Amino acid sequence: MLHKNRLYTPGPTQLLPSAQFAMAAATMHHRTADFRDLYVRTLADLKSFIGTQNDVILMACSGSGAMEASVSNLTSPGDKVLVLTAGKFGERWSSLAKAYGVKTEVVSAPYGETWTLDAVKEKLDGVSVVYMQGTETSTGVRHDVEGVAKLLKGTDTLLVVDAITGLGTTHFDVDGWGVDVIIGGSQKAVMIPPGLAFLSVSERAWKKMDATKNPRFYFDLRKERKSAAKGESAYTPATSLIAGLGAALDFIRGMGNGNLSDGRHALVENAETAAAMTRAAAEALGLTMFAKHSPAAAVSAINAPAGVDSGAIVKGFRNQFGAVVANGQGDEMKGKIFRVAHLGYYDYLDTIAIVGALEHVLASISKPAHVEFGPGLRAAQFVYAQRATFAAATV
């Protein structure tokens, strides 16, 4: 049969067609009135997408660049920071902090788990910044951003959240909770290619930058803020990607019947439904989830069956159906889990397709054992029916 390539990975994700058209047509120069109009509009829309009144900065880099900027701009050598980690991207915070000569305290949890708020509270003394993930993409775990924010209320400690896969898949109250910096990336829920990072920055974080001493040049957020006030970027922007981002935000606005905040809510609920369908399907097929207690909506991490290398499952999806799912990340998880993402331009039929494909892949690697077709699809359908009925009843 025909193999139609489909991305089920947690980034890059499937591209939005209208964003592709916008990128293909974007021939404007970045120091013109036309681009300034697009840039100002996109920055304003990003505020609504994130759900904040804080200034938003847009940068031509991956999300890791914005992570680095949140370390270089908010710390000085010798400062004490706290990193909350339970996976590969939490560990990235530790590496970044150490690269800038920052004293790094760590609260960690085993892969597939999350840490306790009591453990965080014990480590807060003398900490200037807490760095954490909203969603740990390597393990499929969702962390308690609101709980950490409550611990920091009334203190001078800043909270920085990597929500690169969290934005558009998780409900955040950025200003209400007091999140000082929250980071997103273009190749996730906003459905365009890699190459853009965006972050909202609170007023007290801006004030902190005036006193910090770590070096910064391209990643100087103050330069970007000053330029953004004039409708420009400090350096050459990724013009085509910004055009695509503008189109993607328009699409999300359409999901909310013209209201971008409502569209963001609908996008998150879409991810939550697809994730719940996938978890139910996996369990109906006798599989177990890697993140048992705090699963994310961005990505489902599923344990491979006993005696099976998850690489064989990843290969089966690609060879049989042209579908790309992710293996486990790093030596600790590669070969043990596979990850199916539910980000962005991903709907009910995509979920049904990946569940149906999973049943066939399991059958092909389980021979000569018999695998019954249908239990995963039935479980996914039941979850969808429940959630659709509830949503209709609350409208």
Q: Please check whether residues 83 and 162 belong to one and the same domain.
A: yes
Burial-class residue 124 by CB neighbours within 10 Å (0-12, 13-18, 19+).
Answer: middle
The per-type count for the chain, helices as H runs and strands as E runs, is 14, 14
Residues 204 and 96 in one domain: yes
- For residue 391, what pLDDT is reported? 67
Instruction: Enumerate residues 6+ apart whose C-beta is below 8 A from 318.
Output: 324
Is position 162 within any domain? Answer: yes
Q: Is 339 annotated as a binding residue?
A: yes
Question: Distance of CA 36 to CAs 33, 41, 149, Å?
Answer: 5, 8, 35
Q: What angle do CA 48, 51, 56 make, to 5 degrees?
A: 70
CATH at 82: 3.40.640.10
123 and 144 share a domain? yes
Q: Are 263 and 319 contained in the same domain? A: yes
One-letter amino acid at 67 equals M
- N residues, the chain: 395
Q: How many CA atoms lie within 13 A of 250 on its CB side?
A: 13
**Residue ending a domain, choose from 222, 255, 288:** 255
Distance of CA 383 to the CA centre of its chain: 23
pTM: 0.96
The radius of gyration computed from the CA coordinates of the chain, to the nearest angstrom, equals: 21
Residue 302 counted as domain residue: yes
Contact between 214 and 72 under an 8 Å Cβ cutoff? The reply is yes
* Short-list 291, 240, 285, 269, CA closest to 384: 269
C-alpha–C-alpha distance, residues 241 and 20, integer Å: 9
Low-confidence ranges of the chain (pLDDT < 50): 395
> Is the residue at 222 inside a domain?
yes
Structure tokens at 372: 């019954």
CATH number for the domain that contains residue 298: 3.90.1150.10
Quick check: is 1 in a domain?
no
Bridge partners (DSSP) of residue 183 are 162, 199
Are 330 and 371 contained in the same domain? yes
Same domain, 248 and 307: no
Residue 388's pLDDT is what? 84
pLDDT confidence of residue 21: 98
193 and 339 assigned to the same domain: no
Is 367 in the same domain as 239?
Answer: no
Q: Which of 63, 164, 205, 163 is nearest to 172 (CA)?
A: 163
229 lies in the same domain as 361? no
Domain that holds residue 345: 6-12+259-394
Buried-exposed string 346-363: b where 16+ CB fall within 10 A, e elsewhere: beeebbbbbbbbbbebbe
Domain boundary pick from 207, 228, 255: 255
Number of domains present in the structure of the chain: 2
Distance CA 386, CA 395 (A): 15
